[in-house]
A = this chain, B = another copy of it.
């Protein structure tokens, strides 16, 4: 493939991710349309399929950005490594909550995209998740000094899933969820309980 072609494709790829990201942010994953993307990008519908496998591939690319940004923002909330472990856990969870409420549609897209098998989870996803889990497991290790690595991993997953459940049902404003204005308080309650406070 010629150099110029490669550049044109790379440009189109970025442009499409930009447009898709804006669309998902504003109207949610479900309102992505191949024709709409093509029109905004000033290309043919078929061109999308020259740079992405299908629309799911494009959504995954958007999710890559979202996940990375989320990791950075969550990390930033626990910079004070001298705070007690449980306070750092609460800060991480609040960072997660804050990201979800600030970017509801992009955040939901992270979980709504179909991952047909466990095999086709992209590498960047595993890496980003590992980063997030490491951030969580550091304070956890202080709370459970006797736990081995696999125990820590398990508890990290349990904690993450719990907080995720509260944030998910709460921010969706499901009638089964915690009211928005109480989520922070309830997450703190949950984490303090787990920490034995």
A157-190: which have CB < 8 Å to B? 157-158, 160-166, 168-170, 173-179, 182, 186, 189-190
Identify the 5 closest CB pairs spanning chains A and B, nearest first. A165-B165, A162-B162, A158-B186, A161-B166, A161-B165
The chain B residue sitting closest to A182, CB to CB, is: B154
Question: A149 → chain B, closest Cβ, in Å?
Answer: 15
A: number of interface residues (CB 8 Å): 36
Within 8 Å by CB of A193, from B121, B161, B178, B196, lies B196
Could you say which residues of chain B place their CB within 8 Å of the CB of A194? 190, 193-194
Could you say which residues of chain B place their CB within 8 Å of the CB of A6? none
With most chain B CB atoms within 10 A of its CB, the pick from A115, A186, A196 is A186
Question: A131 → chain B, closest Cβ, in Å?
Answer: 12
Question: A68 → chain B, closest Cβ, in Å?
Answer: 15
The chain B residue sitting closest to A111, CB to CB, is: B174
Could you say which residues of chain B place their CB within 8 Å of the CB of A174? 111, 115
Could you say which residues of chain B place their CB within 8 Å of the CB of A186? 154-155, 157-158
What are 25 residue pairs bridging A and B, where the CB atoms are less than 8 Å apart in the complex? A111-B174, A125-B175, A129-B176, A154-B178, A157-B169, A157-B176, A157-B177, A157-B178, A157-B186, A158-B166, A158-B186, A158-B189, A158-B190, A160-B169, A161-B162, A161-B165, A161-B166, A161-B169, A161-B170, A161-B176, A162-B165, A162-B190, A164-B176, A168-B168, A193-B194
